Amino acid sequence: MAALMTTPGASFPEEWFRKRTYHHSRFADVAGLVRAKRGRTVSVCLPTRNEAPTVGTVIRRIREDLSERFPLVDEIVVMDSMSTDGTVEAARDAGAAVYQDRDILPELEPLGGKGDAMWKSLFVLSGDLIVFIDADIRNFDPHFVYGLLGPLLLEDDVHYVKALYERPIEESSGVAATGGGRVTELVARPLLNLFFPELVAVIQPLSGEYAGTREIFESVPFFTGYGVEFGLLVDIVDRVGIDGLAQVDVEVRIHRNQAVLELSRMAFSVLQAAFLRLRSLGRMELYGDMERFFHQFAGGPDGYEPHASLIEVRERPPAVSVPGYRRRMRRETAGP
C-alpha cells in the first residue's frame, strides 16, 4: 500500500500559508485595532433569510462589544431576502439597520440568492472596510469580527481575509467535533486543487465570514447564490495576488447543519460558478449552455420520486462599473 503524504507537495504555497495564517488571539487588543483605523470606517453586513433564532444575538454582541464598548464597528446592516420568521424584527430590535435586497436597485432584473444580496449591500454600506458575517452562528463571539479585521488594519498589503474554523456536525449520537463543511471537502477543495493550486492552502474556501476593503469588493463581480464565496476567492486573488489574502482561525463555528439534499443543491451552485469562471479565464470550453435544472430523488410510498430544482448561477458586474454606484460614491465623498 502506498504511504500517504505527510507533508505538502511541491505546489503547496508554504510561504503564504506560514505568513498569512493567523489566530484570532493575535488581534485581541481591540483598542489597538481602533487606533489602527486611522479614520477608516467599518461596516458589518449580515445577509439573512429566516434566521430569527440567532440573528439578534449576533447583532447584539457586535453592537455592545465592538460599537459601544470599543468604537471598532461603525455600522451594522442586515440585508434580508424576504424573511418570514421574524428575522427583520429581531435584527431591528438588536440595533441593526435592515434593508430588503429586492428594494435595492429595483430597476435591475431580480436575481435573488445570497450572492445577489451581498452585491446589493455595497450600494447601502458606508464603510471603508466591510465584514460579511453569516447570521446563523450559534456560538458567535466578537472575535469573529475583530479577528477578520486584524490583518486588514495591522498587516501590510492585505485586502481580503477569510475565516477558518472547525465545524461540528449534529449526528444521531450527539455532536461530532468535526464533519461539517461537506461541500468544501467534496467539491470546493478538489476544484481548487485541480484548477487553482495557488489556493490549496485556504482552509475554508467557502466560509461565510470574511472581510475586505471596499475597493476590492467593488472591483470584482459577484456570483449569485452559493457560488459567491468561490467566485470572490478566485477573483480577488486574481486581482491582488495570493499575498493580498489572509486567513484567520476563529476556532469553532456552530450553525444549523443542512441536510444532504440541500448540500447537493449548494454543490451544484459552486460547480456552476467554478465552470463559469474557468470559461471566462479561457481555461475551459463549454459547448452550449450548462443545464440549470438539478434533478434529485426522494423515497416515497411508491418508490423513488424525482424532483427538479431550477438553480441558475448568474453574475453581477463589479459594483464600481454601475453608474448608480459611482454617483453614490461621489455624493458621499462630497459630503452634505
Q: Is residue 214 part of a domain?
A: yes
Q: Is residue 319 part of a domain?
A: yes
CATH number of the domain where residue 32 is located? 3.90.550.10
- The pTM (predicted TM-score) of the whole model is 0.91
Predicted local confidence at residue 298, as pLDDT: 86
pLDDT band at 17 (very low <50, low <70, confident <90, very high): very high
Q: Is residue 8 part of a domain?
A: no
Q: Is residue 213 part of a domain?
A: yes
Q: Which domain holds residue 191?
A: 14-334
Predicted local confidence at residue 169, as pLDDT: 65
Whether the pLDDT of residue 314 is over 80: the answer is yes
pLDDT band at 299 (very low <50, low <70, confident <90, very high): confident
Q: Give the tens place of pLDDT for each residue, 134-167.
A: 999 999 999 999 999 999 999 989 999 999 999 8
Q: Is residue 129 part of a domain?
A: yes
Q: Give the tens place of pLDDT for each residue, 217-241.
A: 999 999 998 999 999 999 999 999 9
Q: Give the tens place of pLDDT for each residue, 166-221.
A: 988 654 454 444 544 689 999 999 999 999 999 999 999 999 999 999 999 999 99
Predicted local confidence at residue 302, as pLDDT: 86
Q: Looking at the 3D structure of the chain, how many domains does it have? A: 1
Whether the pLDDT of residue 75 is over 50: the answer is yes
Q: Is residue 90 part of a domain?
A: yes
Whether the pLDDT of residue 5 is over 70: the answer is no
Q: Is residue 7 part of a domain?
A: no
C-alpha to C-alpha distances, 317 to 118, 225, 272, 308, 325, nearest whole angstrom: 13, 15, 17, 29, 12
Whether the pLDDT of residue 260 is over 60: the answer is yes
> What is the average pLDDT value for the chain, to the nearest integer?
91
Give mean pLDDT, residues 318-324.
Answer: 92
